[in-house]
Amino acid sequence: MSENNLQKNNKNKLVGGCIVAVVGLLLSVAVAGLEGLLNVESTEKLYYVLCDTFCLPGLLILGIFGMIWIGSTGTLDIFSFGFKNLLYLFTPFKKRTSNYYEYKQEQAAKRGELPMYILWVGLGFLAVGLIFLALFYSVYVPEITT
């Protein structure tokens, strides 16, 4: 790979990571608004809200990365091949051009690199949320009822 292509690829990864981070921050702001971050009255409640604010977007981003990873392994190729053949069955004048093995080889050639920046951004959000969870449990005192 040439120097220019490598710089362009790194720039695309950086832009993609920034987009995922901004979406995660927007989700965090939405969760904070729904949880009432501006109306907290105790440190315990503040840590609770901040834990939710960062854990939920982190888990959502990690779930999206997991779906991308599963799709990139070729696990779901059989479903797309089946739907494509279903279309050939109901479309006149079209003939199926390949068998499943050839289709799987074509799909494997089309797959690109896995976007690891999604994983790192999701883990970052989750790590911040877990830090607030630890802080929450450091000040949390359960009520004992008898």
Give the predicted TM-score (pTM) of the model. 0.81
**Is the Cβ–Cβ distance between 28 and 121 less than 8 Å?**
no
**Is the Cβ–Cβ distance between 125 and 64 less than 8 Å?**
no
Q: Is 122 exposed, middle or buried (0-12, 13-18, 19+ CB in 10 A)?
A: buried
pLDDT truncated to tens, each residue of the chain (146 aa)?
Answer: 577 777 888 888 899 999 999 999 999 999 999 999 999 999 999 999 999 999 999 999 999 999 999 988 888 888 888 888 888 888 777 677 678 888 888 888 888 888 999 999 999 999 999 999 999 999 988 888 87
